[in-house]
Structure 1
């Protein structure tokens, strides 16, 4: 009958289970004890207070270092480097060429090494150094080289952290934490413009350096320091972090096994990374999520021109930078409430859908009005596109529950495909389309609608999967040999019997 067991052998396995653990295997509920609940709360406090503040601050600097190019444009970068509009846009887009090249292999390396503190810390130091050295460039070729290198060394951080968080938090906790993580970028949008305005006002010309060079130096040095802090402080994965007591490590592993319905540890060693990538490429949902992220990223590309958009309101460069801060601050606060509600209600789809008409209204207002009030209001509405990010990335994590090698490859692939949109979107914001940028914003509306269609596909796909899981939960359905082996692995990792291991499967459903 080929490789594997025959139907008769599978039935024998089932009979062995029944004789050993009694009829109705799976009847034992995996209910945590009061002690385990207390330990889980202690674990959450520990990782919340240690992990979340650190990665939020690092991502804040990641976003500032990536986007200070737009702020530097208002501080003399174009004139000093003799950049035309097309050259400036090429410098913006080439960042994402390096970003894509560095994305996919990075998470595979991270999952293989099992040392996120060292890996993410070193890449943070690398992009801080590249950012600081950008202050030395003197030509168009120099800025292209620095932007390409910056994209490559920044690539591991974002998908790496998404994968990293999915190893620590359950699906009921992810949206809020991922929103808090992503809020670093929204705070960076506000804080970065304020820093740029302060440097333009206070340091421009100091020691003969223009403001944009000081911008790169100061922010690059801060990032290098934070990179060393990541190496020293960031904990590893739950099953490898020595800072956890045996009791907390057991709770951390158990809750993630319950979450994934199986042990959240790869089956193999070296080959598991290749296998994980192949598994990710075979999953249609991975490709749909990647396409949705690409369309969303393209539609959100206006953020790289945000200081340019505020400059169309008719104020000086310094005031234009200051005007960037309130819309970002508003959306940052909104995102916290948005993600809290999504976690509390355990809903994802509708929280991804409701901001869509709001954002479209913002684009339409900007394209059709000239007065300050409506146009400035439109900037607030446009930025609502970023309120869904925490929910979206949490949906990715819970839609690809295991194995870790597959999830790592999927995150990196989705991030790389999404980043590809930013290679060409800068060229849609042409100087001749000022001040309304109608072609670019009209394209954004179309892309936003396609993103919604991808979310609808995911809604029906995951609903169908949950119905399948409902059928498998029926205890009258016999276990296949593959199911039996997976239960054995989960039971070994968790230190429980097979009956309890099967009862863990009952708790898993895709969050929709």
Structure 2
């Protein structure tokens, strides 16, 4: 474990997982090296210390970006004079700036700051912006606040997804990603309930009810952010709730999480964890980042189609605005539970492709039902979007953790994940323009576009699965034939996920 200090920023502590030097100790299993450590007990400790705070942060993030959909059906467009496609433009600009600032934010987090400082700081910033949305009076004001909301929220999701890879080994990661991401679906349920209540404040203080949605939620975000300064931890080596042996165990578990990383003699090869800038270029040029990006578009585009338009979609089935707000709650609550269950199964099974492809299939079924539902049967249309949500929410942690598992090294991983998540969030910009008021109540264009993106995700997932299978088999054959015998342990470690000893998770 080391500390690095960049002359441009504060001292940053991070885990130096291992050196490439082989020792007799490194040939022991984790259980043999750490006989006093109960892995399940330690994982539970990490979960209780890390996930509640991270989940609350993401809950507020998703609540604040999606509550504009709740404000819309409470009269916001008419009150501030939105015309034509101006509402859709305010949705779109959020994702443009979100995309532009995600990679820089992840680099700042990794090289120049600490999670316990950076994440609460950006949260305070977006909480202030959210509060200002409550006092806008025209399209320009709403557009500007949504623009800056994208800038300030950009660092949270990619930052946390990278942060979790510094605490949990690959085989335990997807469930934790799902527990964290379930805050998004909980935010959807909470948003509907909160909007239902706050809309009744219409007239209080001379303000419309939709303004109170932004004001109350913005202030709440700032308050929670201040508390996060005291509840977030940085990395395992500085965590005061861990013993020295537990810190060493976490470091070793991240190194040994891939059982197949052996040389021709069966010795474990540890991978270099340096943070050189060449890893940025390596991430930018890695083919798998872009196939995973397409997969992520297939998840994010439907996600934002629902989160931004679900209240409107349900209302257009023939329900009142108040009832539409409440009917969003069971969809999001069920999706949260389903996402965690599916991710628990995925971590225990150790496979990603089948889970992701299964999620895509569920989405397609849901959207087809929503398109085909007769106008006289609103319950059928509601069931369609309900089913689609059950496919959408489990797909996100699976897509994110699959790439994270197959990228070696913290700097390359942080950049690769920021590219995936940053460009992936352009799916929100796409979805912002899929659902037009004139297409109600079936929204065939919007649902059809979602199906198109899901189809692209299916193709990308199949390509990844086949490519990883072929590469793994080729590396097995090369090692068995002695093709790479001349490479030293240090040379193998520097190759990262391109090393012949590295095995991709399928």
Shorter-chain TM-score above 0.5: yes
For residues 71-470 of structure 1, what are the structure 2 equivalents within 5 Å?
Answer: 71-113=70-112, 115-201=114-200, 203-241=201-239, 243-259=241-257, 266-268=273-275, 272=276, 274-303=277-306, 304-369=308-373, 370=375, 371-383=377-389, 384-400=391-407, 402-470=408-476
**How many residues are aligned here?**
471
Q: CA separation in 1, counterparts of 2:26 and 2:475?
A: 16
TM-superposed CA distance for 1:160, in Å, is: 0.5
Verify the 8 A CA contact 1:114 1:236 in the aligned structure 2: no
Contact 1:235 1:243 in 2 (8 A): no
Q: Which runs of 5+ in 2 are unaligned?
A: 1-19, 262-268
The 3-state SS of whatever aligns with 1:230 is helix
Separation (CA, whole Å) in 2 of partners of 1:425 and 1:265: 40
Of stretches 384-393 and 29-38 in structure 1, the one that deviates more from structure 2 is 29-38
Match of 1:136, SS? coil
Q: Is the 8 A contact 1:125 1:227 kept in 2?
A: yes
The 8 Å contact of residues 40 and 248 in structure 1, kept in 2 or not, is answered as no
Shift of 1:433: 1.1
CA distance in 2, matches of 1:173, 1:27: 21
Give the Cα separation in 2 of the matches to 1:284 and 1:488. 19
Q: Deviations over 1:235-264 (max 9, x none)?
A: 112234455332222111111111265657
1:239 counterpart SS class: helix
Partners of 2:105 and 2:488 in 1: CA distance: 31
For 2:48, the equivalent position in structure 1 comes to: 49
Mark the CA change 1:486 to 1:37 in structure 2 (over 3 Å): closer, same or farther.
Answer: farther
Shift of 1:474: 4.5
Which range moves more in the overlay, 112-121 or 235-244?
235-244
Distance 1:38 1:483, change over 3 A: closer
Query: Aligned-pair distance for 1:124?
Result: 1.1
- Residue 240 to residue 33, structure 1, CA distance change in 2 (3 Å): same
For 2:291 and 2:238, how far apart are their aligned partners in 1? 33
Task: Give the greater-gyration-radius structure (CA).
Answer: 1
Deviation at 1:34, TM superposition (A): 7.3
Instruction: Give, in angstroms, the shift of residue 325 of structure 1.
Output: 0.8
Residue number in structure 2 paired with 1:500? none
TM-score under structure 2 length normalisation: 0.87
Structure 1 stretch 354-363 or stretch 337-346: which is displaced more?
354-363
Contact 1:39-1:248 at 8 Å conserved across structures: no
Cα distance between partner residues in 2 of 1:418 and 1:245: 38
Aligned pair in 2 of structure 1 residues 347, 96: CA closer, same or farther (>3 Å)?
Answer: same
Q: Tell me if the contact between 1:111 and 1:408 (Cα under 8 Å) persists in the aligned partners.
A: yes
Q: CA deviation at 1:297?
A: 2.1
How far apart, in 1, do the equivalents of 2:484 and 2:445 lie? 58
SS of 1:297 mapped into structure 2: helix
Q: Residue deviations 1:48-77, cap 9 Å, x none?
A: 111011111111111000001110101221
CA contact (8 A) 1:39 1:251 kept: no
Post-superposition offset of 1:466: 2.4
State how far apart, in whole Å, the 2-side matches of 1:446 and 1:112 are: 38
- Answer whether contact 1:166 1:397 (CA < 8 A) is retained: yes
Shift of residue 382 of structure 1? 1.6
Q: Is the 8 A contact 2:292 2:399 kept in 1?
A: no
1:46 shift after superposition:
2.3
Q: Indicate if the aligned counterparts of 2:366 and 2:388 stay in contact, CA closer than 8 A.
A: yes
1:344 partner SS: helix
Deviations 1:260-313 (A, max 9, x none): 656576424xxx2x3222010121001111122124322333211111101112
Structure 1: gaps spanning 5 or more residues: 1-16, 491-504
Aligned 8 A contact 2:296 2:396 in 1:
no
What is the CA deviation profile of residues 352-393 of structure 1, one whole-angstrom value per residue up to 9, with x for unaligned ones? Answer: 111323222221222222212211111211212222112221
- Mapped to 1, the partners of 2:494 and 2:427 lie a distance apart of 44
Tell me the distance in 2 between the aligned counterparts of 1:153 and 1:486.
39
Q: Secondary structure at the match of 1:82?
A: coil
Partners of 1:36 and 1:251 within 8 A in 2? no
Distance 1:480 1:145 in 2: 58
Cα RMSD, aligned residues only? 2.7
**Relative to structure 2, which stretch is displaced further, 462-471 or 126-135?**
462-471
- Give the helix-richer structure, 1 or 2: 1
2:300 and 2:396 in contact (8 A); partners too: no
Instruction: Confirm or deny: 8 A CA contact 1:297 1:422 kept in the other structure.
Output: yes
TM-score normalised per structure 1: 0.86
Q: Which moved more, 1:477-486 or 1:436-445?
A: 477-486
